[in-house]
Chain A
Amino acid sequence: MKVEVISKGLFSLIVDEGRKGKQRQGFSQSGPMDEIAYRWANFLAHNPDNTPCLEVMGKMTVCFHEPTIVAVAGRQVKVQVNGHDQPSYSSIKVNKNDRLSFESEYVGSKAYLAICGQWKVPYHVDSACTVVRESLGGLHGDGRVISDSDCIDISRCDEQTYATLSVRQLPIRHSMSMQHGISIKHSMSIKCGENVAYDLNAPLRVIKGYQEAHFSQVAKRMFESSEYTVSSSIDRMGYRLTGADIASSLSSMRSEAIHVGAIQVPPDGQPIIMMRDRQTLGGYPKLGCLNPLDVSRLAQRVPGETVSFIFQNSEEARADILLSRQHVQRLRGEIA
């Protein structure tokens, strides 16, 4: 089955869970910026985990050459089929020649389109992920992002199986905050009427580590007590924030591995949160790492929005993550 891209949006690419075990060869981890939304999209489209999806900024329109099931997930995503509104975070059955359009209400936020079936796209270094900087992956295998009139070949399941696929829908009452593992006291800000709310006001959780000892107590207190603005320098490599200066006392260090969510502080004192397509090694001091659940939340923030941080220890972080995974597992069981 062919899926034709009528309009690519601002910046769209193919992602799966990313490259595993290849950072020692210099390949970026890659993978979806908002892993939580990506996983829901695939699940709701009846795909196994790690199936490729389209990660889309801006408004994308695609046309289906055969009937299939799709799902769109992300931050405040508006979805339409042939001009009629459809729910996000839900399976959508589309027919031959249907046109699906979707976009996040926030320019710069990411929406994920999952399409049921086996994606016939090239795999490089064990993944279908597109990494522009590495000229790797994507439809042509050379790191090119999606362009208008690209066609994605997806082999659909047989008619019989297709007929049995149910419509899966994420219940509205299960707000995103639960999946991000944020306690109720932080999630009061979820607005009613938002289909799936990203609880963006809760502080991003940080586990201190790396060169933490080289940051002064004052710098750490400043970091936790002030608000940072998401700058316009944000991409799949990292999110540069502006706000209180928290430079460390370390002038030079040897390059070392940068984990996802690492808070890197160059000499100008302005933190950069390292994201999916970050370089594997780097020599700037790092204050710690975001809780992995909050990497997805940060990924959906757009320039001009503010974020704040709260320290937690690794035991608390682990508890949050395990609870969140249990919750997602239970939800999946209820929906399936």
Chain B
Amino acid sequence: MQPFGSIKQFVPVGADAIMLYFSGSDLEHANAACQQWLRVLDRAASHSERPWLVECVPSYDSLLIIFDIERVDSHFVYNTLRSWQNGGNTISGPAVGSPAGGKTEIAAGKCHTLPVWYGAPDANDLVEISQKTSLSIEEAISLHTSIEYKVYAVGFAPGFGYMGDIPTQLQCPRLSTPRKKVPKGAVAIADRQTAVYPSESPGGWNLLGLCPENMLDKNNQPLLSAGDTVKFVSITESEFNAYHEG
């Protein structure tokens, strides 16, 4: 299966799935290409009465396509994507917002501002982060709040958004031994990534503080979607507590 457009590689995954890997000038563009193809596939599934598409699972620069093995095989999926790329088959295919041409538009997602109580005692690795990065605690916090992050993928746990890239100076490795319990709302960093733990879970990232915002709503809908942007702002302990009372 020859690559085309923004898809740099097709790789078989089991009997009923294929993986698409995307190229781009940088990770943000590869991720945008992934999101663009995901929208095309979603549209196709919603237009079809009995779609062959079972599920799509996007990540940073890859998209897993799971298909109905009784109806189609991986060659059919490849040829269908190819036909959509080339302007599409109007009967079964959706109007593709041309993922072709090497130009990938970065679609505007939602913008979120997430408050963080940095140094909250339940989620505080600031001393360790300071040692790992040779930054002062104040510098680490101000770097973390200095830029907008892109949500590249949602996964690992429900509503867990992988965001990046954090400033290089703040980059620090995972804990050598993961914690058994990271509290709900913990704001964490690892390598060039940052995230908010939606619920209590094990985890190996370095903790900066707590975010009072729920990452999953009452109906288990995640707050963050891939393509969204997030800006963190620092709040005080009393502001954090007021958040819960309000």
Say yes or no: A26-B74 contact (C-beta < 8 A), given A254-B59, A256-B62: no
Shortest Cβ distance from A254 into B: residue: B60
Nearest chain B CB to A296's CB is how many angstroms away? 14
A25 touches B154 (CB 8 A): yes
> Within 8 Å of chain B (Cβ to Cβ): is A171?
no
State how many residues of chain A have any CB contact under 8 Å with chain B: 41
The reply to whether A255 and B153 contact each other, CB–CB distance below 8 Å, is yes
Chain A 144-180, CB-CB to B under 8 Å as 1, else 0, gives 0000000000000000000000000000000000000
With A26-B222, A136-B220, A259-B17 given, is the CB distance from A208 to B12 under 8 Å? yes
Q: Is B37 an interface residue (CB 8 A)?
A: no
Report if B139 contacts A (CB, 8 A). no
**What residues of chain A lie closer than 8 Å to B62, measured between beta carbons?**
254, 256-257
Give Cα A207–Cα B16 distance, bound, in whole angstroms.
Answer: 10
Q: Is the CB–CB distance between A24 and B69 below 8 Å? A: no
Of B104-112, B116-124, B157-165, B238-246, the stretch lying at the interface with chain A is B157-165
By a CB distance below 8 angstroms, the chain A residues around B16 are: 292, 318, 321
B155 CB within 8 Å of chain A: yes
Q: Which residues of A contact B222 (CB under 8 A)?
A: 25-26
Stretch at the interface among A57-65, A79-87, A113-121, A283-291: A283-291
A125–B17 CA distance with the chains assembled, in angstroms: 23
Question: Is A259 within 8 A of B159, CB to CB?
Answer: no
* Chain A residues with CB below 8 A from B198, complex form: 26
> Does A325 have its Cβ within 8 Å of any Cβ on chain B?
yes
Contact digits for B212-246, partner A, Cβ 8 Å, 1 yes 0 no: 00000000111000100000000000000000000
A291–B70 Cα gap in the complex (Å)?
Answer: 14
Choose the segment among B50-58, B83-91, B92-100, B175-183 that binds chain A (4+ C-beta atoms closer than 8 Å): B50-58
Bound complex: CA of A285 vs CA of B6, how far in Å? 23
The answer to whether residues A209 and B13 also contact, given A27-B158, A321-B69 and a CB cut-off of 8 A, is yes
Is B125 engaged at the interface, CB distance under 8 Å to the other chain?
A: no
Asked whether any CB of chain B lies closer than 8 Å to the CB of A219, the reply is: no
Contact (A325, B13) CB under 8 Å given A26-B222, A256-B60, A279-B155: no
Inter-subunit contact A134/B157 (CB<8 Å): yes
Contact residues, A234-293 vs B (CB, 8 A): 254-257, 259-262, 279-282, 288-292
Known: A20-B55, A26-B156, A279-B156. A256 touches B14 (CB 8 A): no
Of chain B, the residue at the smallest CB distance from A29 is B55
Interface positions of A from 310 to 329, Cβ below 8 Å from B: 314-315, 317-318, 321-322, 325
A318–B73 CB distance below 8 A: yes
Q: How far is the CA of A188 from the CA of B158 in the complex (A)?
A: 44
Q: Which residues of B contact A254 (CB under 8 A)?
A: 59-62
Count of A-B contacts judged by CB separation below 8 Å: 127
A26 to B19, CA, bound (A): 18
Q: Is the CB of B61 within 8 A of A21?
A: no
Q: How far is the CB of A326 from chain B (nearest CB, A)?
A: 10
Please name all residues of chain A whose beta carbon is closer than 8 Å to the beta carbon of B201 when the two chains form the complex.
Answer: 133
User: In the bound complex, do residue A262 and residue B156 qualify as a contact, i.e. CB atoms below 8 Å apart?
Assistant: no
User: Contacts A207-B12, A210-B13, A321-B15 known; A255 to B56 CB distance under 8 Å?
Assistant: no
B129: A residues at CB distance < 8 A:
none
- Report the bound CA distance from A290 to B14 in whole Å: 7
Interchain CB contact (< 8 A) of B12 among A209, A257, A262, A322: A209
Which B20-46 residues sit within 8 Å CB-CB of chain A? 38
Interchain CB contact under 8 A, A136 and B69: no
Chain B residues lying within 8 Å of A140, measured Cβ to Cβ, are none
Q: Which residue of A lies closest to B55 (CB)?
A: A21
- Nearest B residue to A322 via CB reads B70
Q: Does A231 contact B (CB under 8 A)?
A: no
The answer to whether A201 has its CB under 8 Å from any CB of chain B is no
Q: Is the CB of A314 within 8 A of B157?
A: no
| Contact indicator A256/B55 (Cβ below 8 Å) | no
CB-based contact B57/A280 at 8 Å: yes
Nearest B residue to A135 by beta-carbon distance?
Answer: B199
Closest Cβ neighbor of A293 among chain B residues? B15
What residues of chain A lie closer than 8 Å to B14, measured between beta carbons?
Answer: 207, 209, 259-262, 288-292, 314, 317
Q: Are A20 and B54 in contact (CB under 8 A)?
A: yes
A291 to B57, CA, bound (A): 19
Does B127 interact with chain A (Cβ within 8 Å)?
A: no
Residues of B within 8 A of A261 (CB): 14
**Assembly CA distance A317 to B58 (angstroms):** 25
Residues of A close to B162: CB separation below 8 A: 255, 281
Please state if B59 and A207 are interface contacts (CB–CB under 8 Å).
Answer: no
Q: Which residues does chain B contribute within 8 Å of A315, judged by CB atoms?
A: 73
Q: Which residues of chain A from 1 to 21 have any CB-CB distance to chain B below 8 Å in the complex?
A: 20-21
Write the chain B residue with the least CB distance to A206. Answer: B14
Q: Which 8 A-B pairs have the closest CB atoms?
A: A289-B14, A281-B155, A257-B57, A257-B64, A317-B15, A209-B12, A280-B155, A26-B158
A-B contact pairs, 8 of them (CB 8 A): A23-B155, A24-B56, A134-B157, A209-B19, A254-B61, A256-B59, A260-B14, A279-B156
Sample of 18 more A-B contacts, CB < 8 Å, known A262-B13, A314-B74:
A20-B55, A27-B158, A124-B220, A133-B201, A209-B19, A255-B60, A255-B153, A279-B157, A281-B57, A288-B14, A291-B14, A291-B15, A315-B73, A318-B15, A318-B16, A321-B16, A322-B69, A322-B70
